[in-house]
Amino acid sequence: MAAADELAFHEFEEASDLLAETPDAATTSGSNQLTPQGHVAVAVDSGGSYGAEEEVEESDRTALLQEEKQQPGFWTFGYYQSFFDVDTSQVLDRIRGSLLPRPGHNFVRHHLRNGPDLYGPFWICATLAFVLAITGNLTLVLAQRRDPSIHYSPQFHKVTVAGVTIYCYVWLVPLALWAFLRWRKGVRERMGPYTFLETVCVYGYSLFVFIPTVILWLIPVPWLQWLFGGLALALSAASLVFTLWPVVREDTRLVAAVLLSTVVLLHALLAVGCKFYFFQPLPLAHPAPPTQAASLSPDLPPPPTARAHTT
């Protein structure tokens, strides 16, 4: 008992010294029992700074997340920079998807995955425009070497014509298609159209197959040129139809048929128009007029002359 009383006395002295050093602290006891092992529990004021610091840190994290999620305006360069943030493997995968269309394989769902880009469509259109202009001039050069009577002069304006045609097609046709599908969504609530950039991306990648086709058009065999053009048109149009079908199938059969037929028809007009304009029939040089005979043959009698009438 004496040892226990002495231990309790020492604990009481330690608690008194602690209270003297920290007047704002208060000792806690439960049922007049001291804490074990001589430790004194000190309770800090409930309005301390720990809860306030946690609230400040949480508010800072929320503000940072809001700044990261905030999208820049469409008039800024940063808005369009995100659409060019793709790597080579993604672009090659999307090119393969456009070259190998098959039923039930949605290009948007399997290749874009809610991440459309403008890098691939931009360079595909630029490459196709330059290839069209260059091969159109090379066709005339090669034909002139085979036949000197063919007249050739460099046609640099074809670069401008090809660029304006391709880029207008890839932007204006998807814009009209997207606007029509948005309008039909209000009529048919189950329809969920693609975004405008997704539609542009689909059209841009669908034109890649025409790049090797245009190069093969350098072969001076008309029926072979039309064969290559028909195969390229079939692959490109099939990629568009298989991608748009999951969207338009929710509409009426008449609207779906007319819409898909219009898409294929416009695609065919682009291909045939490029074929006729950039690979038009070769102009021939103006032949010299045939020279007339300087003199008549001596064996032939002279032409009759009119007799003079006398009165």
Q: What is the pLDDT of residues 7-31, one digit of tens each?
A: 555 565 666 666 555 555 444 444 4
Of 247 and 45, more confident: 247
Of 95 and 187, more confident: 95
What is the average pLDDT value for the chain, to the nearest integer?
Answer: 75
227 within some domain: yes
List of residues 6+ apart from 22 with CB closer than 8 A: 42
24 within some domain: no
% pLDDT > 90, the chain: 34
98 within some domain: yes
Task: State how far the Cα of 235 lies from the Cα of 101, in Å rounded to an integer.
Answer: 7
244 within some domain: yes
Residue 296 has pLDDT above 60, yes or no: no
Domain span at residue 98 reads 88-279
Query: For position 143, what pLDDT does the model report?
Result: 77
CB 282 within 8 A of CB 275: no
Residue 2 has pLDDT above 90, yes or no: no
Query: For position 204, what pLDDT does the model report?
Result: 94
Q: Which of 4-13, 83-92, 134-143, 242-251 has the lowest mean pLDDT?
A: 4-13
Q: Tens digits of per-residue pLDDT, 205-256?
A: 999 999 999 999 998 888 999 999 999 999 999 999 999 998 888 888 898 9
Residue 177 has pLDDT above 70, yes or no: yes
174 within some domain: yes
- Give the count of domains, the chain: 1
Of 79 and 261, more confident: 261
126 within some domain: yes
Query: For position 103, what pLDDT does the model report?
Result: 85
User: What would the DSSP string read from start to end of the chain?
Assistant: -HHHHHHHHHHHHHHHHHHHH-TT--B--BTTBPPGGG---BPPPTT-HHHHHHHHHHHHHHHHHHHHHPPPPTTSHHHHHGGG---HHHHHHHHHHHHS--TT--HIIIIITT---SHHHHHHHHHHHHHHHHHHHHHHHHHHHH-TTB-----THHHHHHHHHHHHHHHHHHHHHHHHHHHHHHHSTT--PPPHHHHHHHHHHHTTTHHHHHHHTTSS-HHHHHHHHHHHHHHHHHHHHHHHHHHHTTS-HHHHHHHHHHHHHHHHHHHHHHHHHHTPPPPBPPPPPPPPPSS--TTSPPPP-PPPP--
Q: Identify the top-confidence range among 1-5, 34-38, 100-104.
A: 100-104
294 within some domain: no
Q: Per-residue confidence at 70, pLDDT binned at 50, 70, 90?
A: low
CB 267 within 8 A of CB 240: yes
% pLDDT > 70, the chain: 62
Task: State how far the Cα of 204 lies from the Cα of 85, in Å rounded to an integer.
Answer: 17
Q: Tens digits of per-residue pLDDT, 161-171?
A: 999 999 999 99
Rg (CA), the chain: 42
Q: Is pTM, for the whole model, over 0.75?
A: no
66 within some domain: no
The two three-digit tokens of residue 168, written as one number: 């207008």
Indicate the angle between helix axes 222-248 and 157-187, nearest 10 degrees: 30
CB 172 within 8 A of CB 165: no
